[in-house]
Structure 1
Amino acid sequence: MTLQNVLVIGNGGREFAIAKKLKQSPKVDHVYCAPGNVGMPTVGVEPVAIEELDFAGLIKFAQEHQVAWTFVGPEDALVAGIVDEFQTAGLKIFGPNARAAQLEGSKEYALSFMNKYGVPTAKHLAFENEAEALTHVADFGFPVVLKLDGLAGGKGVVIASDQADAKATIKEMFADHTGRLVIEECLVGPEYSMFVLIENGDYQILPMAQDHKRAYDGDKGPNTGGMGA
């Protein structure tokens, strides 16, 4: 059996865990991670000094090092089209293409997609400016969910408890970020993530996970990029 070389894209804890697990596979020889982090060599993974959005550099590396396939961690690389670029170069890569990645890259797009195909979701509206958002936020009742439309490192969602909290958050979001703001009714209950592999009309459901995002004990405080799952 020929052992494979694998490339992982990203530099966080998620990519560390994935690269470590791949390195344990009897089918894998070398595992590279671009750009990787200082912990990677402790589990036999080789960091590569190429940034995750340098698609030309990553493709060249994969070709020169006989990489059998590439795994992508960061959402921004997926939204920017890394899968499309690798496939155009004739390289195998695991992840959604740029069009499919918009389900993660734009909350407004994802909500519109769900409405179009009859997927149940919360009542919502998107706003281009602060004044419109402030005018309509009370229509949703409180608590209310405020979401930056684009990627925000897992920290673009705030649950505002009252009018004053919502007003301050809306002002802060429009001051610090460009793009639209989604206001959404607050649905109370457990939240899970389901992962499904899809290929040629077939699918495989993977185990579900629950992300613990709040900064403090007891599910309190602002959302973080992820405090474990």
Structure 2
Amino acid sequence: MKVLVVGGGGREHAIVETLSRAPSVSEILCTPGNPGIAALALCLPGPQTPAALTVLARQESVDLVIVGSEAPLADGVINALTAAGFPAFGPTQAAARLEGDKTWSKAFMLRNGIPTADHRSFADVDEALAYVQSHPLPIVVKDAGLRAGKGVTIAHSQAEAEDAVRAIFSVPDAQAVVEEFMTGQEVTVLAFCDGVRAVMMPPSQDHKTIFAGDVGPMTGGMGVICPFPVSDADLQTVQQGILDVALRGMAQEGTPYIGVLYAGLMLTSEGPKVVEFNARFGDPEAQAVLPLLDSDLAQIALACVRGELLAEQVRFSPDASAVIVLAAPGYPGDPEKGIPLNLPPTGEGEHIFQAGTAMQGNQLVSSGGRVLAVQARAASLNAALGRAYRLADAVGFAGAQMRRDIGGRIGARPE
């Protein structure tokens, strides 16, 4: 089949690479794509609006569309593609509110009894400031809108909390969610969903802050380990008490959820609780999880769209996978662009997924904050981390920011 992937980052590079291994896929298109994706798919730059993407799908006579990035989902691209008769993998605009509107998402969790942090939502800056001034520290302040995995501050001082609130409300029509600081291991569970059933992928753990030791500003993610060790009891809670309940709730509210549901979780002493839902593959979680997928991603996506997903369709390798993100100097603020990149050859079970890259003549250069995601797999997590760090160290990238403690929260050490 002919598949169109929407997006141009490291996540979409991982999706395209996975599709390139799928027996049912004969041709892959990607819009807008990036230089790394161009080695595997035909990249078609152009507007990412629902109307433009529908025209593109029609012009190219595609058999399936997989939407990787969150902004087109929030804009309603699935609605437009479905109305035009194209099988499109991802949630509708209404269902994508689980990510695009944290105020709505938190209210949905409360309505359906999904465990999450105690919180308050605010549409007024003064009310939010009054709340954080009276709340014990630490406290978590979140922008309620789409912020590409950022827009979250774990405030350890009153001033930090107040600054985070004022930053959120510096733009019109802003909303903020302020919630308790939960303790425990943070883990991501991605699940394929067909509106009724959710089939989990192996749990993973991202490392969000820019600096080792989990300090510094939040980023979109600096490194991932997969699988992350989660007990059978906690996995059962995630499946039955979170994912299944979320799908039932969405269906009952008239917005059945189809696509990948991202459950960001905290494994607390009271059991797993939802930190946040996202409406698509995580980035960089996808770069760690998808290389372990042993079954046909296109067929899984079609089964989800048709409401026919079966657990036996989803098969993952028992191997471990590790991802090390290389970010540009200045990130997560204003990243330096135009830095020459020289990529070493990769071996079996290794990938260098491109995210913030561009071509200047014949030279690959940096063009964004998180530039590359270096991934490797092995029989053990320590071995996978060792391979990933060796490959990352071999990348020619002046001034690259790279955390050296990925996996350290569970005592994993690169071999």
Q: Does 1:163 align with 2:179?
A: no
Report the Cα offset of residue 141 of structure 1: 1.1
Quick check: 2:207–2:221 contact (8 Å CA) kept in 1? yes
Q: Distance in 2 between matches of 1:155 and 1:139?
A: 25
Partner of 1:76: 71
- Structure 2 spans left out of the alignment, 5+ residues: 225-415
TM-score (norm 1): 0.92
- Structure 1 spans left out of the alignment, 5+ residues: none
Q: Distance in 2 between matches of 1:110 and 1:159?
A: 20
Partner of 1:9: 6
Q: Does 1:198 align with 2:193?
A: yes
In the alignment, which of 143, 150, 154 is matched to residue 149 of structure 2?
154
User: Which residue type is aligned with residue 91 of structure 1?
Assistant: F
Q: 1:178 to 1:227 in 2, by over 3 A?
A: farther
Report the Cα offset of residue 203 of structure 1: 3.1
Q: Distance in 2 between matches of 1:198 and 1:168?
A: 38
Report the Cα offset of residue 209 of structure 1: 2.1
Q: Secondary structure at the match of 1:204?
A: strand
Q: Secondary structure at the match of 1:192?
A: strand
Q: How many residues align?
A: 224
Tell which deviates more after alignment, 132-141 or 83-92: 132-141
Report the Cα offset of residue 82 of structure 1: 0.8
In the alignment, which of 21, 26, 31 is matched to residue 24 of structure 1?
21
TM-score (norm 2): 0.52
1:98-152 CA distances to partner (integer Å, 9 max, x unpaired)? 1111001111111101100111111111112221111111333101000011101
Over aligned residue pairs, what C-alpha RMSD do you find? 1.5
Matches within 5 A, 1:79-228: 79-176=74-171, 178-199=173-194, 201-228=196-223
Quick check: 1:140–1:184 contact (8 Å CA) kept in 2? no
Report the Cα offset of residue 57 of structure 1: 2.1
Report the Cα offset of residue 217 of structure 1: 1.1
Runs (4+) of structure 1 moved beyond 6 Å?
none
In the alignment, which of 27, 33, 41 is matched to residue 45 of structure 1?
41
Q: Secondary structure at the match of 2:127?
A: helix
Q: 1:201 to 1:175 in 2, by over 3 A?
A: closer
Q: Secondary structure at the match of 1:175?
A: coil
Q: Secondary structure at the match of 1:103?
A: helix
Q: 1:37 to 1:200 in 2, by over 3 A?
A: closer
Quick check: 1:211–1:226 contact (8 Å CA) kept in 2? yes
Q: Distance in 2 between matches of 1:197 and 1:79?
A: 19
Report the Cα offset of residue 6 of structure 1: 0.6
Query: Percent identity of the aligned residues?
Result: 38
1:29-88 CA distances to partner (integer Å, 9 max, x unpaired)? 11111011122222x211111232x22222122122221101111111111111111110
Q: Does 1:34 align with 2:31?
A: yes
